[in-house]
């Protein structure tokens, strides 16, 4: 991933390379004047995991790697999808052929188009004309940094722009979440699509996933920086575990509702946890999931307060508490993640560390004192390799902007 001082500088070269690939992949059609290029970043969640689909708080930011999309309309109603990152490509004759293809990346753009189709009068001209599109990304795949949300959002944003659909940013966010829920079949919350769309450079976003109210918070880290570390354990088996957690939380809500007037787990007050225990007589799992959601929600509030008062130590401690809760109560950690967290915690420059995203592999995010960051990476990397026999990749990141169009004709600044 890119580690530039301006968090958005990496998107222009990627966009340019994507436009060039687009031109060479689709030479049979003259797209020269109509091609437009868009970009959506990945995201890292700083604190607040598995709270979004429970109506809770999350605190993500976008990163300076992402997905670029070059796209141009056709005139014959065909759609062609290609990617620099995957061998699979797809051509369909019309939107009647939008059918999920087992485990293929094209389900993300197809899901978005399917949702747009349901929203829009079928006579809309973009649906009749079709288009060619080419995706290319520099996000690690399967690492839990939301490459799928980036593909969805860049597709929705691009069609919204070139077909002049006038959908608001929030409508696009919700549409992309529906695409993932309905077409891809993952019952995800709204955090990833929200972050990828709404992010601002050098700021994180606090999102209340119940009301969708959100606030951008400057990431002024007094003497510290965030480091993303990839365990390189692919999150291939994560889907089943994620679906189980969603179901367990639904069970918990049903057990709580006879006594508490709540629609989602995050609405339960932390003080009520102990007295709610008797509602879960034979369901320890559902209670543990509830305890995670309720305490994690509280930690997000405290972490934002810590950031506002420049208390990086307190922020770091809350990250560690979050990890323990995700490991012990929500049970979404993994052996490689534990090795990486332990390696970070053994280093005196670490203020906090936790798994980020859904878990079951993927990445950790650490808050580290900005003394000798290179030495930190070398020693944590060596300790991780010694204990897990895997190599980690490290990225010191700054918060980047959300989805945008990249105008390649403009002079780069």
Where does this chain bind ligand GLA (CB under 6 A)?
A: 45, 49-50, 52-53, 188-189, 191-192, 357-358
User: Do 195 and 293 form a contact (C-beta atoms < 8 A)?
Assistant: no
Nearest to residue 392, comparing CAs of 246, 164, 159, 228? Answer: 228
Measured over the CA atoms of residue 403, residue 405, residue 408 and residue 409, the dihedral's sign is: negative
User: Do 287 and 280 form a contact (C-beta atoms < 8 A)?
Assistant: yes
H or E element, residue 51 = none
User: Do 88 and 105 form a contact (C-beta atoms < 8 A)?
Assistant: yes
Select 115 or 192, whichever has its Cβ closest to ligand GLA. Answer: 192
Rounded to a whole number of angstroms, the minimum distance from the CB of residue 301 to ligand GLA is: 16
Select 36 or 354, whichever has its Cβ closest to ligand GLA. Answer: 354
Query: Within 13 Å of residue 101, how many CA atoms lie on the same side as its CB?
Result: 15
- Per DSSP, the three-state class of 235 is coil
Sheet holding 203-208, edge to edge: 57-58, 203-208, 214-218
- Token pair in block for residue 297: 């929600």
Nearest to residue 156, comparing CAs of 319, 38, 253? Answer: 38
Select 45 or 160, whichever has its Cβ closest to ligand GLA. Answer: 45
Rounded to a whole number of angstroms, the minimum distance from the CB of residue 256 to ligand GLA is: 20
Rounded to a whole number of angstroms, the minimum distance from the CB of residue 199 to ligand GLA is: 15
Rounded to a whole number of angstroms, the minimum distance from the CB of residue 189 to ligand GLA is: 3
Select 109 or 189, whichever has its Cβ closest to ligand GLA. Answer: 189
CB atoms within 10 A of CB 6: 13
Euclidean distance between CA atoms 268 and 289, whole angstroms: 12
Q: Indicate which residues carry an active-site annotation.
A: 192
Euclidean distance between CA atoms 141 and 144, whole angstroms: 8
Rounded to a whole number of angstroms, the minimum distance from the CB of residue 309 to ligand GLA is: 25
Rounded to a whole number of angstroms, the minimum distance from the CB of residue 310 to ligand GLA is: 26
Select 82 or 292, whichever has its Cβ closest to ligand GLA. Answer: 292
Burial of 263 (0-12, 13-18, 19+ CB in 10 A): exposed
Select 57 or 163, whichever has its Cβ closest to ligand GLA. Answer: 57
């Amino acid at each position: 991933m890119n580690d530039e001082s301006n968090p958005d500088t990496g998107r222009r070269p990627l966009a340019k390379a994507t436009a060039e690939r687009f031109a060479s992949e689709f030479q049979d059609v003259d797209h020269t004047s109509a091609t437009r290029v868009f970009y959506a970043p990945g995201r890292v969640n700083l604190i607040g995991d598995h709270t979004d689909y429970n109506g809770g708080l999350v605190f993500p930011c976008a990163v300076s790697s992402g997905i670029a999309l070059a796209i141009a309309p056709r005139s014959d109603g065909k759609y062609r999808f290609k990617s620099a990152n995957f061998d699979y490509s797809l051509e369909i004759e019309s939107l009647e052929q939008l059918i999920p293809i087992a485990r293929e990346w094209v389900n993300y753009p197809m899901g978005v188009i399917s949702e747009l189709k349901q929203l829009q009068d079928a006579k809309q001209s973009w649906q009749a004309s079709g288009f060619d599109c080419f995706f290319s990304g520099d996000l690690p795949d399967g690492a839990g940094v939301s490459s799928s949300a980036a593909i969805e959002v860049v597709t929705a944003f691009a069609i919204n722009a070139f077909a002049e659909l006038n959908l608001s940013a929030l409508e696009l966010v919700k549409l992309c979440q529906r695409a993932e829920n309905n077409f891809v079949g993952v019952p995800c919350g709204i955090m990833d699509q929200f972050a990828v769309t709404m992010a601002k450079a050098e700021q994180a976003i606090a999102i209340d996933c119940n009301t969708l109210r959100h606030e951008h918070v400057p990431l002024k880290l007094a003497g510290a920086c965030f480091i993303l570390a990839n365990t390189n354990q692919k999150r291939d088996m994560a889907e089943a575990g994620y679906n189980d957690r969603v179901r367990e939380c639904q069970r918990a809500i049903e057990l709580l509702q006879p006594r508490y007037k709540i629609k989602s787990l995050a609405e339960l007050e932390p003080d009520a946890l102990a007295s709610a225990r008797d509602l879960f007589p034979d369901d320890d799992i559902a209670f543990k999931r509830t305890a995670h959601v309720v305490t994690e929600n509280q930690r997000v509030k405290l972490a934002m307060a810590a950031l506002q008062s420049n208390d990086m130590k307190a922020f770091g401690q809350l990250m560690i508490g979050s990890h323990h809760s995700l490991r012990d109560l929500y049970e979404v950690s993994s052996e490689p993640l534990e090795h990486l967290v332990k390696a970070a915690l053994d280093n005196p420059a670490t203020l906090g560390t936790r798994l980020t995203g859904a878990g079951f592999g993927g990445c950790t995010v650490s808050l580290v004192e900005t003394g000798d960051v290179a030495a930190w990476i070398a020693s944590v990397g060596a300790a991780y390799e010694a204990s897990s026999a895997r190599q980690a990749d490290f990225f010191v990141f700054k918060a980047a902007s959300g989805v945008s169009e990249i105008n390649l004709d403009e002079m780069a600044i």
